Amino acid sequence: MNGISLTVPSSLRLLSLIRSTVRNFLEIENIKEKFIFQLLSVVDELSTNAIEHGYKYSLEKDLLVKVRVNIEENQIELEVEDFGEGIQENSNSKEEGGMGLHIVRGMVDKFEIIKKEKGLAIKVYKKIEEGN
């Protein structure tokens, strides 16, 4: 398995760092531009959601967002994880999702929400073709 993991403080200012790191990794791995564009849209949406909803824009310095990207054969696995409040038991809002999550679901082959004791991870899978 070939991949990267990036953990950054929860800040909208760092979305460009997440995006550029994921882009550089995918380019090094010779992933086609059309897949890179789709995956960057996905990572932007999931990372923004982690910051906005997982932490409700908190400025505490110990709040983190973790992004992992793995490539195995012809599939990319992308996971964005926060360690925030998670989902209230009586709320289905994350499963139903807003327009952004609806768009993400349409761009990937598989979409998983993993509820944790503290926080939430969203994992997506996308089949890809390597090379240009």
pLDDT digits (tens, 9 = 90+) for 24-45: 999 999 999 999 999 999 999 9
pLDDT, one tens digit per residue, over 63-113 is 899 999 999 989 999 999 998 876 554 444 444 456 788 899 999 999 999
Sequence ranges of the domains in the chain: 2-127
SS3 66: strand
> What architecture (CATH level 2) is domain 2-127?
2-Layer Sandwich (3.30)
pTM over 0.95: no
Cβ contact 101:49 at 8 Å: yes
Let me know: does 60 contact 83? Beta carbons within 8 Å.
no
Q: In what order do the strands lie in the sheet with 110-115?
A: 2-9, 64-72, 75-82, 120-127, 110-115
